[in-house]
Chains A and B, each alone.
Chain A
Amino acid sequence: MTVALSGKDIASQLEEKFPGSVEETGQDSLVVKSDSLLAVAGYLKDTGSLAFDYLNYITAVDYYSYFEVVYQLTSLKHNHSVIIKSRCYGRENPAVPSVVGLWQSADFQEREIYDLMGIKFEGHPNLKRLFLWEGFQGHPLRKDYL
């Protein structure tokens, strides 16, 4: 059975390594500040006891005052999983660092989020629209798209 690690387990470890990176810890997820996201993700992937080598999915949710990008990571070796979130405030130019360098499965998923939500992923080699055509106005999955 895959153990879903709760936010508090990981949060204490992360606070030691990267102080100030954790914004909130919830029951089954934790929110990380977007500028320390890459460092935290690298730590989660490379540390032996955590070894999160498999990225389940990346998605984004539009809560009106902020966008929340959700990552779920699983470790095939230890059979545990964790959910990491990162928020970007402001609707004009939301941006989050890209994790393509760590997990290649983020490639198409980040392009999809850019296409449908408008969140830019810094460091993505080929950030262009995936589903809709070049010249489409707007980002359909936002709550203010009609």
Chain B
Amino acid sequence: MTTTEMMTLKTEPFVLNFGPVHPSTHGVYRMRATLDGEVILDIEPVVGYLHRGIEKLAEERTYSGFIPLTDRLDYISPMSNNLGYCLAVEKLAGIKVPERAEYLRVIMAELQRLANHCIAVGSFLNDTGAYYTPFMYAFREREKIVDLFDMACGQRLTYNYMRIGGVSQDIPDEFLPALKRLVEQLPRWVDEYDVLLKQNEILLARTKGVGVLPRETAINCGISGPVARGSGVNWDLRKADPYSIYDRFEFDIPQGEAGDCYDRYRVRIEEMRQSLRIIKQAMNDIPAGPVRADVPHLIRPPKGEAYAHIEAPKGELGYYLVSDNSIAPYRCHIRPTSLINLTALREMVKGWKVADLIAIFGSIDITMGEVDR
């Protein structure tokens, strides 16, 4: 027997638990990964560690009283959650929103997209190994955006700003000049961040070609948002099914081709630039007027059902409401962007190593509040 034959090792697969308490799992997400050495054969996600029963709680709160609960769904972009829910109720009850409120909603939603992508990109880079430095840079910029939100509604994380029929209060006088200063500063920061990282060897080695999601799989798995656009699916709800007043603004939809982690990262950076474009246009055109339609606090929409969806920073966020003409919804279902985006994780990680699993998982950008509701 030759030496190579004598040294043949037979291995067997084993299951490793990536527990709910883990520094890189973006919250309480658990996976049981079947590994053969370091190569991943299969993963089985276990979710539900943050299942707070929000859909059941919707049946005990009034329509307006449910808005603070929607903040806690995707707690990194609460403005978008609020907006989606208010659009659904307004569709159900046939309420028209005043012009100034529409512009304010668009400004807040796009600022929220910027803040979300700051965290998404920062924590993705944290996962690939640049421990904390890009994360802290991104947080520094997010603080500037969160300061604006603080000025508008008094809160830093769970805003509860949108109301059924508009927004809760008008912006103070200092808001627009501060927004103007931010919009002038932020493109330079995005460029600086981009330049530092675009040609970085380690980032390219760890993300180029890693975790490829083919276009057909993305559509079949119902993926939406930057993950789908990174795989070449040309679908953005702001263009395909415009809600609010998005059809008045000019912006592009960035798309990737290869569907790997690097493309998803680049799509997010480009989306930040496009959001700044939209904010500039909205800032210039914002009219004066009331910020809330004349809607009673305890509204009773007529019997029926409605589904409204928005392009949240993570993907398609939708609310399906069924009403039976009482003060509380009969059924409120939230289309969970992050849970559906997780469907593709199994396909994306088979054959890669454990370190790639963390990078791929970070590039999908999920929030457990939305997965578990």
Contact = CB atoms under 8 A, between A and B. Distances in A.
B311 interface: no
B27 to A, nearest CB: 14
A141 B241 contact: no
Interface residues of B, number: 32
Contacts of A41: none
A72 B307 contact: yes
A132 interface: yes
Given A57-B335, A131-B47, A107 B242 contact: no
Nearest to A76: B235
Given A61-B322, A105-B343, A131 B51 contact: yes
B333 interface: yes
Nearest to B339: A108
A141 B235 CA distance: 32
From DSSP, what is the main secondary structure of chain B's interface residues?
mixed
Given A76-B233, A109-B340, A53 B318 contact: no
A104 B320 CA distance: 21
Given A57-B335, A109-B340, A141-B55, A76 B219 contact: yes
B48 A133 contact: yes
Contacts of A14: none
Nearest to B216: A53
Nearest to A129: B48
B316 interface: yes
A131 B369 CA distance: 12
Contact of A1 (B53, B220, B241, B309): B241
Nearest to A53: B219
B343 A107 contact: yes
A10 interface: no
A1 B53 CA distance: 33
A43 interface: no
Interface residues of A, number: 30
A56 interface: yes
B42 to A, nearest CB: 12
A108 B307 contact: no
Interface string A89-111: 00000000000000111011100
Interface centre among A105, A109, A140, by most B CB within 10 Å?
A105
Nearest to A116: B55
Nearest to B309: A56
A32 B242 CA distance: 29
Interface string B336-352: 00011011000000000
B343 A108 contact: yes
Interface centre among B222, B233, B331, by most A CB within 10 Å?
B222
A90 B223 CA distance: 34
B56 A140 contact: yes
Nearest to A103: B220
A55 B342 CA distance: 15
Contact of B320 (A70, A103, A130): A70
A56 B219 CA distance: 10
A56 B318 CA distance: 9
B55 to A, nearest CB: 6
Contacts of B333: 57, 59, 61
Nearest to A54: B219
Contact of B318 (A57, A76, A131, A133): A57
A47 interface: no
Contacts of A133: 48
A70 B318 CA distance: 14
Interface in A97-143: 103-105, 107-109, 112, 116, 129-133, 140-141
Interface of A: 1-2, 53-57, 59, 61-62, 70, 72, 76, 79, 83, 103-105, 107-109, 112, 116, 129-133, 140-141
13 contacts: A53-B219, A56-B316, A70-B320, A76-B219, A79-B241, A83-B307, A104-B217, A104-B220, A104-B221, A108-B342, A131-B51, A141-B55, A141-B56
Given A2-B241, A56-B307, A131-B372, 7 more contacts: A53-B219, A56-B222, A56-B309, A62-B331, A104-B343, A107-B343, A108-B339
